[in-house]
Amino acid sequence: MKHNMGKTDKTIRVIIAFTLATLYFTNAVTGNLGIFLLAVAVVLLITVAINFCPMYTPWGISTNKKRLSH
C-alpha cells in the first residue's frame, strides 16, 4: 500500500474529523445523522493514521509529495 496522502491533506482531515466529533459529543447533531458523522470522523482519522486513502486509488490521485534525494 503506497502512501498517497500529503501533510496538508492529513491536516485538513484531522480538522474535519475533530469538528464532526465535536458536533456529535456536544449534541449539536444527534440521532442517525450524528452517528453517521461520527463514523465519517473515525474513517478520516483511520486514513490519516495509515497515510492512505482508498478513494484516491481508482483515480490515481496522490497528495503525497515525493521527496527527491540528491
Cα–Cα distance for residue pair 10/65, rounded to 1 Å: 13
Q: What is the pLDDT of residue 57?
A: 87
Q: What is the pLDDT of residue 67?
A: 52
Instruction: Compute the half-sphere exposure of residue 42: CA atoms within 13 Å on the CB side of its CA.
Output: 7
Predicted TM-score (pTM) of the model is 0.85
Burial of 21 (0-12, 13-18, 19+ CB in 10 A): middle
Cell digits for 58?
481508482
**Confidence grade of residue 43 (pLDDT, cut at 50, 70, 90):** very high
> How many other CB atoms are found less than 10 A from the CB of residue 8?
10
Higher-pLDDT residue of 6 and 70 is 6
